[in-house]
Amino acid sequence: MIPRRDFIQSLVMAAAGTRVAGSAEPFAPSAPDGPASAALFPLREASVRMHHGAPALHLNGQPHPALMFFFCRAADATDDVRSFAAAGISLFSGCFSPPSPILPEQPWDLDRVRRAFDAVIRGNPRVLILPRVGLGSFRETDAEGARYESERQLNRHPATAEMSRGRNFSFSSEIWKQRGGEALAEFIRFCEREYGDHIIGYHLTAGFFGEWSYSWVPALSDASEPQRRAFAAWLQRRYPDQTIDPATVAVPLDRTRTTDQLCLFDPVQDRRTIDYLLFHSEAMASALVHFAQVAKATLRDLKRKKICGAFYGYSFKNMNRPANFCNPGHAALDLVLRSPDVDFVCAPYAYTGRETGNMYQAQLCAATLRLHGKLYLCEEDTFTFRAKRESNRHVCVTRGDTVHVFRRNLLGILRDNGGAWYMDCGGNGPLVPDGQVDGWYRDEELMRNFAAMQRLATRVLQGPDRTTDAQVALILSDEGVAHLRHDEALPDALLVRQWLELGKLGAPFDCYRSEDLPRLMEQNWAKNYRLIIFLSAFALPAPLRALIDAQLKRDGRTLLFVYAPGLITPAGFSTEAMRALTGLQLSIRRDSEHLLASCTLTGERILYGTERMINPILSGADPAAEVYGTFLNSGDPAVLRRDFGTWRSVWSGAPAVPASVLRHLAREAGVHLFSAAGDQVLTLRGYLAIHAASAGDRMIPLRRRADVFDAFTGESVAKGAGEIRTQLGFGETKVWRLDEPGTA
Whether 53 and 95 have beta carbons less than 8 Å apart is answered as no
The amino acid at 729:
G
CATH, domain 472-669, list 3.40.190.80, 3.40.50.970, 3.40.50.880, 3.30.230.70: 3.40.50.880
**Whether pLDDT at 1 is above 60:** no
- Between CA 233 and CA 215 the distance in angstroms is 24
Phi/psi region, residue 53 (left: phi>0; alpha: psi -120 to 50; beta: rest), is: left
Q: Give tens-digit pLDDT for 56-104.
A: 999 999 999 999 999 988 998 999 999 999 999 999 999 987 655 556 5
Q: Average the pLDDT over 342-363 and give the result.
A: 96
Task: Report whether pLDDT(18) > 50.
Answer: no
pLDDT of residue 35: 46
pLDDT at 5 over 70: no
> Across 99-113, 161-175, 656-670, which has the greatest mean pLDDT?
656-670
Identical fold, 472-669 and 680-739: no
pLDDT at 39 over 90: no
pLDDT exceeds 70 at position 349? yes
What integer pLDDT is reported at residue 144 of this predicted model?
64
Read off the pLDDT of residues 605-655 as tens digits, 9 standing for 90 and up. Answer: 999 999 999 999 999 999 999 999 999 999 999 999 999 999 999 999 999
Higher pLDDT, residue 19 or 304: 304
Task: Look at 30-39, 173-182, 576-585, 659-668 and tell me which has the smallest mean pLDDT.
Answer: 30-39
Percent of the chain with pLDDT strictly greater than 70: 91
Residue 589 three-state SS? strand
pLDDT at 504 exceeding the cut of 50: yes
Superfamily classification of domain 680-739: Golgi alpha-mannosidase II (2.60.40.1180)
Give tens-digit pLDDT for 526-572. Answer: 999 999 999 999 999 999 999 999 999 999 999 999 999 999 999 99
pLDDT band at 6 (very low <50, low <70, confident <90, very high): very low
- Please say whether the dihedral angle defined by the alpha carbons of residues 536, 538, 544 and 548, taken in this order, is positive or negative: positive
CATH of domain 4-152+167-221+276-461: 3.20.20.80
What is the per-residue pLDDT for 388? 82
> What pLDDT score was predicted for residue 269?
95
User: Is the confidence at residue 21, as pLDDT, over 50?
Assistant: no
Write out the E strands in 17-99.
Answer: 46-51, 54-59, 62-64, 67-73, 91-95
Sequence-ordered list of residues with C-beta below 8 angstroms from that of 416, at least 6 positions apart, any chain: 362, 366, 367, 370, 376, 378
Mean pLDDT, to the nearest integer, of 326-348?
97
pLDDT of residue 2: 36
Going by pLDDT thresholds of 50, 70 and 90, the confidence category of residue 19 is: very low
When the pLDDT of each residue in the chain is averaged and rounded to a whole number, the result is 91
What sign has the CA pseudo-torsion 196, 200, 204, 209? negative
Distance CA 296, CA 306 (A): 8
Mean pLDDT, to the nearest integer, of 271-288?
97
The per-residue pLDDT for 97 is: 77
Q: Alpha helix locations (H) across 167-270?
A: 174-195, 225-238
Q: How far is CA 325 from CA 255, 438, 483, 648, in A?
A: 13, 34, 11, 31
Average pLDDT over residues 185-199: 96
CA distance 8 to 16: 15
CA 404, CA 449: separation in Å to the nearest integer?
Answer: 10
271-283 mean pLDDT: 97
Does the pLDDT value for residue 26 go beyond 70? no
Q: Is the pLDDT of residue 710 over 80?
A: yes
Q: Taking the domains of the chain in order of start, what are their residue ranges?
A: 4-152+167-221+276-461, 472-669, 680-739
Give the residue-averaged pLDDT of 166-188: 92
CA dist., res. 713 & res. 642, Å (int):
48
Give the C-alpha separation, 148 to 518, whole Å.
44
Give the pLDDT score at 153: 94
**pLDDT tens readout for residues 379-397:** 999 999 998 887 778 899 9
Beta-ladder partners of 63: 58
What lies within 8 Å, CB to CB, of 645 at 6+ separation is: none
pLDDT for 100 equals 54
Lowest mean pLDDT among 220-229, 398-407, 429-438: 429-438
pLDDT of residue 391: 76
424-472 per-position pLDDT tens digit: 987 644 444 544 447 899 999 999 999 999 999 999 999 999 999 999 9
638 or 25, higher pLDDT = 638
Q: Average pLDDT of 480-489?
A: 94
Nearest to 501 by CA among 414, 574, 608, 416: 608
CA distance 736 to 595: 41
